[in-house]
């Protein structure tokens, strides 16, 4: 926060008072409602467990504060709507911490798709399994990996980034059929492995795979279009561009087994972008100068809807058509919470260094 221009960190809030000890020079609050009404702050960054994003976000905006909310913006789609509905004053800036939107690799992929260079998308495939997490991690917070505390597992904690980028680059699907496994590799009640099949409005298909139990994991996004294929893996973007439209070749080539003429190139991309710092700076610049937001919080409903749909598809053993019925999903989630008999052993001292989660 000290590196952000035109921004002063003036207060911190945590319901656990000992966590505030490391900020001797700041105003400290143990209740977000008090901080919001204190007159000390004019914007808040909400980085609490997910369910509180909705309640604190609504309270902050209703009291005239600008809000930057961590991902996921809420746990389920109905709560997203409640939170978004509180953003009724256009002078209030409401942004989400989708820091990976600043990564130039994903920006480049988005530009490639939007420019039409890749042609119409036919198939997407994202294997996002670089999210290895241990029992020690899950034990580091009572809210983690429970229906009551987090509302899901890998889809709600690690994958909001992937799901946001997936829809940001490739658009939203119209249907989802998913297979989630609950506590397959960890002593948790929520999902730690997911395979989902997606269908898009133009008939394109997609697959999304994730887990917190694979080592070494993979982060590989492949998008096939009518003018070739782009693959992002190991920090490199490789674009294999066909000289002609593939549809054209299929429809009109006299050859039964055509070999396509292609250009094979690596798209030059430097660095990883400004990440969290860039999103906070963008939030401040939006407040101060009306700069357009990198990640308007309203867009955060989409990754939540995708995650909810994957879980709902598994719960109902069926294909879910989007838009998801948010009331039906909220009811199922409440039922999961009511039926839960998890007794978590919390070891708050377990070493959770979040800096390691960004490597
Ligand atoms: N964008 C990213 O890269 C990124 C990375 C990590 C975490 N996150 C998000 O940040 C949020 C917090 O995750 P974490 O891993 O830091 O959790 P954490 O459990 O380590 O920290 C949460 C803190 O919030 C406090 N808290 C709980 N309820 C509160 C309330 N009502 N008011 C004030 N303080 C409260 C807790 O005491 C704790 O200190 C999650 O929503 C998570 O998804 C985002």
Looking at the fold, whether 310 and 333 belong to one and the same domain comes out as yes
Number of H helices, E strands in the chain: 11, 14
Looking at the fold, whether 185 and 311 belong to one and the same domain comes out as yes
Q: Give domain status of residue 267, yes or no.
A: no
Looking at the fold, whether 80 and 114 belong to one and the same domain comes out as no
For residue 145, the CA-to-ligand 1 centroid distance in Å is 13
Give the CATH number of the domain where residue 156 resides.
Answer: 3.30.360.10
Confidence bin at 213 (pLDDT 50/70/90): very high
Looking at the fold, whether 307 and 169 belong to one and the same domain comes out as yes
Looking at the fold, whether 315 and 209 belong to one and the same domain comes out as yes
Q: Which residue's CA is the closest to the ligand 1 atom numbered 10?
A: 47
Looking at the fold, whether 64 and 111 belong to one and the same domain comes out as no
For residue 70, the CA-to-ligand 1 centroid distance in Å is 8
Looking at the fold, whether 17 and 82 belong to one and the same domain comes out as yes
Q: How many domains does the chain have?
A: 2
Residue 25 belongs to domain spanning: 11-100+274-296
Q: Which residue's CA is the closest to the ligand 1 atom numbered 33?
A: 14
Looking at the fold, whether 50 and 89 belong to one and the same domain comes out as yes
For the entire predicted model, the pTM comes to 0.96
- The beta strands (E) that lie in the chain are given as 11-13, 27-29, 43-46, 66-69, 94-96, 121-128, 175-182, 191-199, 205-211, 219-225, 228-233, 236-242, 262-267, 320-321
Confidence bin at 101 (pLDDT 50/70/90): very high
The pLDDT, as a whole number, for residue 344 is 74
**Ligand 1 lining (C-beta closer than 6 Å):** 13-16, 19, 32, 47-50, 52, 70-71, 97, 99, 141, 157, 354
Matching residue, tokens 């997911």: 194
Q: Give domain status of residue 347, yes or no.
A: no
Looking at the fold, whether 208 and 325 belong to one and the same domain comes out as yes
Confidence bin at 357 (pLDDT 50/70/90): low
- Tell me the best of 23, 46, 70 to mutate to test the pocket of ligand 1, counting ligand atoms within 8 Å of each CB and taking the most: 70
The pLDDT, as a whole number, for residue 93 is 98
For residue 49, the CA-to-ligand 1 centroid distance in Å is 5
pLDDT in tens, 104-160: 999 999 999 999 999 999 999 999 999 999 999 999 988 999 999 999 999 999 999
Given phi > 0 = left and psi -120 to 50 = alpha, else beta, which region is 10?
Answer: alpha
For residue 249, the CA-to-ligand 1 centroid distance in Å is 52
Looking at the fold, whether 309 and 226 belong to one and the same domain comes out as yes
Looking at the fold, whether 16 and 155 belong to one and the same domain comes out as no
Looking at the fold, whether 327 and 191 belong to one and the same domain comes out as yes
């Amino acid at each position: 926060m000290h590196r952000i221009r035109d921004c002063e960190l003036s207060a911190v809030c945590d319901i656990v008072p000992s966590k505030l000890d490391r900020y001797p020079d700041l105003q400290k609050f143990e209740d977000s409602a008090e901080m919001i009404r204190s007159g000390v702050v004019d914007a808040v960054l909400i980085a609490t467990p997910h369910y509180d994003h909705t309640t604190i976000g609504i309270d902050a905006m209703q009291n005239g504060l600008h809000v930057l909310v961590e991902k996921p913006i809420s746990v389920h789609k109905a709560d997203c709507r409640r939170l978004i509905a509180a953003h009724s004053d256009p002078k209030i800036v409401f942004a989400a911490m989708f820091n990976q939107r600043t990564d130039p690799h994903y920006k480049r992929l988005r530009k490639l798709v939007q420019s039409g260079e890749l042609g119409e998308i036919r198939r997407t495939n994202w294997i996002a399994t670089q999210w290895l997490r241990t029992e020690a991690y899950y034990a580091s917070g009572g809210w983690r990996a429970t229906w009551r505390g987090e509302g899901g597992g890998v889809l709600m904690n690690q994958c909001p980034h992937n799901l946001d980028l997936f829809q940001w680059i490739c658009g939203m699907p119209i249907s989802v059929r998913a297979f989630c496994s609950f506590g397959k590799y960890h002593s948790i009640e929520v999902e730690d492995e997911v395979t989902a099949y997606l269908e898009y409005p133009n008939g394109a298909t997609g697959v999304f795979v994730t887990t917190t139990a694979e080592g070494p994991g993979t982060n590989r996004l492949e998008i096939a279009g009518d003018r070739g294929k782009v693959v992002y893996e190991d920090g490199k973007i490789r674009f294999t561009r066909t000289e002609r439209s593939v549809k054209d070749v299929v429809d009109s080539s006299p050859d039964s087994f055509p070999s396509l003429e292609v250009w094979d190139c690596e798209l030059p991309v430097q660095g990883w972008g400004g990440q969290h710092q860039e999103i906070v700076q963008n939030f401040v610049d939006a407040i101060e100068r009306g700069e357009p937001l990198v990640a308007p919080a309203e867009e955060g409903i989409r990754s939540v809807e995708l995650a909810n749909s994957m879980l709902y598809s598994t719960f109902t053993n069926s294909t879910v058509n989007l838009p998801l019925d948010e009331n039906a999903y909220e009811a199922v989630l409440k039922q999961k919470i009511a039926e839960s008999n998890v007794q978590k052993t919390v070891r708050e001292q377990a070493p959770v260094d979040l800096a390691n989660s960004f490597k």
